[in-house]
Amino acid sequence: MNSKDDYVKITSQNPVIIWWTMSFPGTSETRNCPGDIKCDIYSDRNLSKKFNVDAYLFYGSEIKFDNLPLPRNPKDTVWGLYHEESPRNVEELMSEDILKLFNFSSTYSRYSDVPYPLQHLETFQDITSKKYFAETSVKNKLLNDIAPVMYLQSDCETSTERDAYVKELMKYIKIDSYGTCVNNKKLPKKFTEDYLNNLNEDNFLKFIARYKFVVAIENGVCEDYVTEKFWRAIKVGTVPIYFGSPSIKDWCPNNKSAILLQDFPTPKILAEHLQKLLNDDKLYEEYLEHKTKQLISNQGLINENKYRPYQLHNMKIVEEFECFVCRRLHNKHNETNIHIVNKLHYNCPKPISALTLQVNPENLWVSSWKEATSRAKELYNKIMT
C-alpha cells in the first residue's frame, strides 16, 4: 500500500521547466540566465510525476496530441512551443486553435516571443564573403558546358508545386535539374553518394557557385520561413529564383538580391527576364552587390543580426527560449493577463502554388490543410476539457 508521502511532489528552489518532447531520461541542468535568475531544466517527462512543474516546453515536430501533460491549466502551468520547421510535419500547427494552447513561442516568425528568422544563415559574414564566388566572366564561359539555371530537390511532393513550376520554366530556358525531382542531369560521381548530407561541403558549394541562377522554392509558404535554399545561394554568390516567404524582401541583403516569382506572373515572363540578364552582365551583377561590392543595404537585416545574434546558433536559440520562459516564471506575479500564442507566431496560410501564385484546389496539400484545421478545433476542445 502506498504511503501518503508517495503522492507529495517536490517543490524545487528554482522554477522547474520540463521538455515534454525531446525527452532524454536523466538529463538535467540548472539554467543560469541574465539577471541572476535560475531555472531547473529537465529533459525527462517522467519527472513530471516527481516535481511541481512550472512550465512544459514542446518541440513542434515531436508533439503527439494524444500524449500531453494534462489537464491543461494556463493559469497554473506555462506551455512553450519551439518549432523551426514548416507545418508539413505537424499540420495542426497551422490552426490558431492549436497555437493558443501555448503561452509562449520560439519560431522563425519575427512576431514569436523568441524569433529566429535567420536560423539558416550560418554566419553573417557568409553574405559578403567571396570564398565560393565565381566572377561573371567565369560563369559566362561555363555556359558552354552547363545551363544558366540549376535545380536540385529530393522532396518531390510539396504544397508549393515547385516541380510543376520548374517543368514549365524548362520550356523557355535551359535548367540543369539534379536530385530525384524532374531529373535531367546526373551529379558528378564524387557527389552521388549521400549528397543530401554534404550540401554544405566546400566542393559542393563551389559546384553550385558556377551557376548564374538557382531555383529556390520553399516546400511551404509561411511568413518569415526562409530556409537554406535561399541562404545557400546568397552564400555562394549565385542568384536565387525565390518563392516562399511573402516577406522575403525584408531578409534580402539588398533590393535586388533575389529574383522573386511574385514579380513575374508566369514562367515565360520570368524566362524572358532571365534571358535579359544573360545578355547584359551589368544588369545581372545588380543582383550580386553583396558580393561584388560587399554591400548590405538592408538595415533591417543588419539590425536583426545585431540585436538577436543568438539565432545563428541552434543551441543558443534553445537556451534563449529557456531563459525567456524562466524570466516569465520568476515574474509570474507581475503578469496581469495570460499570454497566449496567436497566428502571427506561426503564420502559414492555405498552400499557394508557385506556378499560379494562387491556391490550387486540386492540390492534395490543400485538402490536407482543411482536414488539419478541422482536427485542430476538435483537439483544442478535447484538450481543454
Q: Residue 260: which H helix or E strand, with range?
A: strand 259-260
- The share of the chain scoring above pLDDT 70, in percent, equals 94
Class of domain 124-304: alpha beta
Apex CA 206: angle with CA 138 and CA 167, to 5°? 85
In the sheet with 259-260, reading across from the earlier edge strand, the strands are: 175-179, 149-153, 213-217, 239-243, 259-260
In whole angstroms, how far apart are CA 285 and each of 135, 136, 145, 196? 10, 8, 21, 29
For residue 259, report the phi and psi dihedrals to the nearest 5 degrees.
-95, 120
pLDDT band at 131 (very low <50, low <70, confident <90, very high): very high
What average pLDDT does range 215-231 have in this prediction?
A: 95
Task: Quote the pLDDT of residue 164.
Answer: 95
pLDDT at 7 over 60: no
Domain boundaries, the chain: 4-116+312-349+359-384, 124-304
Q: State how far the Cα of 263 lies from the Cα of 133, in Å rounded to an integer.
A: 26
* Distance in angstroms (rounded) separating the CA atoms of residues 116 and 318: 11
d(CA 349, CA 33): 35
In this model, does residue 4 exceed pLDDT 50?
Answer: no
Amino acid at 237: G
Average pLDDT value for residue range 105-126:
97
What letter represents residue 173's amino acid? I
Q: Decide if pLDDT at 170 tops 60.
A: yes
The whole-number average pLDDT for the span 200-207 is: 93
pLDDT higher than threshold 60 for residue 221: yes
pLDDT of residue 5: 42
Between 266 and 365, name the one with better pLDDT. 266
Average pLDDT over residues 267-274: 98
Confidence of residue 26 (pLDDT cuts 50, 70, 90): low
Q: In Å, what is the CA distance from 231 to each residue of 117, 200, 225, 226, 258?
A: 11, 11, 12, 8, 11
Per residue in 312-346, pLDDT tens?
A: 998 999 999 999 999 999 987 665 567 899 999 99
Mean local confidence (pLDDT), 63-70: 94
Interacting residues of 88 by C-beta distance below 8 A, sequence separation 6+? 158, 159, 219, 220, 365
pLDDT score recorded for residue 199: 82
Per the CB < 8 A criterion, the answer to whether 107 and 83 are in contact is yes
Q: What is the pTM of this model?
A: 0.92
Mean pLDDT computed over every residue of the chain: 92
Q: What is the pLDDT of residues 173-197, one digit of tens each?
A: 999 999 888 999 998 888 876 777 7
Q: How confident is the model at residue 2 (pLDDT cuts 50, 70, 90)?
A: very low
